[in-house]
Structure 1
Amino acid sequence: MMLPTDQHRKRRNCDMASPHSTASPNLPTCLVTGADGFIGSHLTELLVARGYRVRALVQYNSWGHWGWLDEAACKARIEVVLGDIRDAAFCRTLVRGVDIVFHLAALIAIPYSYRAPESYAQTNVLGTLNMCQAALEAGVRRFVHTSTSEVYGTARYVPIDESHPLQPQSPYSASKIGADAMAQSFHASFGLPVTVARPFNTYGPRQSARAVIPTIITQIAAGKRRIELGDLRPTRDFNYVEDTCRGMVALAECDAAVGEVVNIGSNYEVSIGDTARLIAELMGASVEFVCDPQRMRPAASEVQRLWCDNRKIERLTGFKPAIALREGLQRTIAWFTQPEHLRHYRADHYHV
């Protein structure tokens, strides 16, 4: 772990955190923003399993729900805080006493970004600014900012490395490009030890219903024979959530990754159509895939091809993905088809 500079040694006392008896006293305290979400909940579990102290930020709600952390086995071993990264004062309190920040909190649904683009700028760009400023003031030792492969847009060349041009083909991707730039500017301007982790298409248990793999699985599990999807032609580089989280932790533990943008992906390209057919095969289902116009992106906004060049993360950290697509889909199907999980999803309704 990189030693903090004199500027980063200036740390405020924390009036929120308390030591956890199950955590290792030799490992840092981590903050995971967006811990109630799909990737964030898995990352929280991984960090706890590795002995880290974990503070988990859940988006404020009046019911006190913790999102997917409500079902996590580690929930008794973490400190959960409800709040909103759009509030700068809250962010300053949230980060006190933290060594490593994993910043995942964001609005991510691409279709909804067409309807409410300002909310994406507020959460993704302003929220990242607030978190960077708070982390700088608190003297954190590492700030891992979560990007997305959507910032690359349709590939101009493949596989896509970190030098590929950024193309804002949706309000969502534009907001993430802005958020990435904000985090990078805090490294260049103030020495904040930032790493921009850029995962390609993560999938697995707990993923949102607006993503394509849960859409396919839940419709088949509900007994549908006509599976409604958008465009089947685009390609993606799918990565099982466990691998994405392992990659993020590897970057946080790598001194050479400070100041870098690093892809996390499998270096394997597959079309949406072929993925859908593989899921149907694994589920033993005879189905027809049909195009639902409301699920189509505007033509110039569709990202036609994503294929990750993952050589940089391997060179820096030695990380390699461990879960192949077939195995990852089998695990994902097994989770989604359990009745207690399937009830969270509405297969008969299109989620924007």
Structure 2
Amino acid sequence: MRIFFTGGSGKAGKHVATFLAQQGHQVTNADLVPLGDPGVSDLKVDLTDVGQVYSALAGLARMNELELASVPAYDAVVHFAAVPAILLTADAPTFATNVVSTYNVIEAATRLGIRKVVFASSETTYGVCFAQGERRPQYLPVDEEHPTVPEDSYAMSKVANEVTARSFQARTGADIYGLRINNVIEPHEYAESFPAYLADPALRRRNIFAYIDTRDLGQMVHRCLEVDGLGYEVFNVANADMSVAATTDEVRERFYDGVPVTREMGRDETFYSIDKARELLGFDPQHSWRDVLPDPRAQA
């Protein structure tokens, strides 16, 4: 596939864009900063400028495309570009940048006839991660039907982007899939960060005790590109286990007392449900902090 990938130089994007290129796809990284990977084409694009977005999506990606009779069309857009959290800029530009860039990308993609768009939403849409004070889920495990009522500018922008995406899907009939991505973890972060999480599970409360390995995130995006015909859907994206050594029962007793549980859960199962992604996309996360670090319970 010829893929237009926005934000391919970011923490998550650089891994996913590279992974897609390794799967044999032709990937153009549309970003303000180049990725510099020899398998990915870099194109500097300000996504808040709708003219630049249309121009980039309708244009060449590589010099060798000059040999073709005409400019080839993109088969899919993967939109990861965003101000990635609160407190990086003021709240208003965080919201404006994320909402305007997403509108521009999806409008241009659908008007140019691209039939597959995958965009990054966020775990923050559930209103827990960046809440002022403590917010607990309304029920466990948190699935895609859980209310999305955030209080911060970043998560508000992601909810607005989901509405935008759903509207363009209704207008065009294209497949547009939103990924509510949990806390993105690079492989080296297991040794660097997870010992603290295993010692103090409270550090993971705002992430609903979940995480997503960049390698499994690449698999998730690839599955979205391979599976057609779902229309508009949103999917939680996380690894199968929690990011702490405490069991589900121990976490519930300490942090979620009184929160309803809708079904029986496994001993180490994530509270951030990935059942829908498994069922509709065949998502099958392969990685875990347990592959790198010893489980402290086994040493007790």
TM-score under structure 2 normalisation? 0.74
How far apart, CA to CA, are the structure 2 residues paired with 1:101 and 1:179? 15
How far apart, CA to CA, are the structure 2 residues paired with 1:190 and 1:320? 30
Partner of 2:203: 232
The Cα of 1:252 is off from its aligned counterpart by 1.7
Judged with a 3 Å threshold, the aligned counterparts in structure 2 of structure 1 residues 245 and 308 are, in CA distance, closer, same or farther, namely same
Partner of 2:76: 100
Task: State the secondary structure of the residue aligned to 1:236.
Answer: coil
Matches within 5 A, 1:7-86: 28-59=1-32, 65-66=33-34, 69-70=35-36, 75-86=37-48
Matches within 5 A, 1:272-351: 307-327=271-291
From 160, 166, 169, the counterpart of 2:148: 166
Greater mean alpha carbon deviation, residues 317-326 or residues 128-137: 317-326
How far apart, CA to CA, are the structure 1 residues paired with 2:104 and 2:293? 37
The answer to whether the 8 Å contact 1:200/1:263 transfers is yes
**Percent of paired sites with the same residue:** 27
The Cα of 1:238 is off from its aligned counterpart by 1.1
From 215, 221, 225, the counterpart of 1:252: 225
The answer to whether the 8 Å contact 1:237/1:268 transfers is yes
Partner of 1:242: 215
How far apart, CA to CA, are the structure 2 residues paired with 1:270 and 1:101? 30
Matches within 5 A, 1:139-158: 139-154=113-128, 155-158=137-140
How far apart, CA to CA, are the structure 2 residues paired with 1:326 and 1:123? 37
Report Cα offsets for 1:224-247 as digits up to 9, x if no partner.
Answer: x9xxx9x63614211211001111
Runs of 5+ consecutive residues of structure 2 not aligned to the other structure? 59-72, 129-136, 247-269, 295-300
The answer to whether the 8 Å contact 1:142/1:193 transfers is yes
* Runs of 4 or more above 3 Å deviation: none
From 125, 130, 134, the counterpart of 2:108: 134
The Cα of 1:58 is off from its aligned counterpart by 1.8
Task: State the secondary structure of the residue aligned to 1:257.
Answer: coil
Partner of 2:265: none
Partner of 1:195: 177
How far apart, CA to CA, are the structure 2 residues paired with 1:233 and 1:145? 25
How far apart, CA to CA, are the structure 2 residues paired with 1:257 and 1:201? 25
The answer to whether the 8 Å contact 1:42/1:242 transfers is yes
Report Cα offsets for 1:89-147 as digits up to 9, x if no partner.
Answer: 001012122111000000112233xx511211222101100001110121112000111
The answer to whether the 8 Å contact 1:146/1:196 transfers is yes
Runs of 5+ consecutive residues of structure 1 not aligned to the other structure? 1-27, 60-64, 207-212, 275-305, 331-352
The Cα of 1:328 is off from its aligned counterpart by 6.0
Greater mean alpha carbon deviation, residues 146-155 or residues 186-195: 186-195
CA RMSD, aligned part only?
A: 2.8
How far apart, CA to CA, are the structure 1 residues paired with 2:156 and 2:113? 29
Task: State the secondary structure of the residue aligned to 2:38.
Answer: helix
The answer to whether the 8 Å contact 1:239/1:325 transfers is no
How far apart, CA to CA, are the structure 2 residues paired with 1:328 and 1:161? 28
Task: State the secondary structure of the residue aligned to 1:106.
Answer: coil
The answer to whether the 8 Å contact 2:224/2:281 transfers is yes
How far apart, CA to CA, are the structure 1 residues paired with 2:75 and 2:104? 17
The answer to whether the 8 Å contact 2:175/2:229 transfers is no
How far apart, CA to CA, are the structure 1 residues paired with 2:151 and 2:212? 22
How far apart, CA to CA, are the structure 1 residues paired with 2:50 and 2:16? 24
Judged with a 3 Å threshold, the aligned counterparts in structure 2 of structure 1 residues 178 and 328 are, in CA distance, closer, same or farther, namely farther
The answer to whether the 8 Å contact 1:143/1:195 transfers is yes
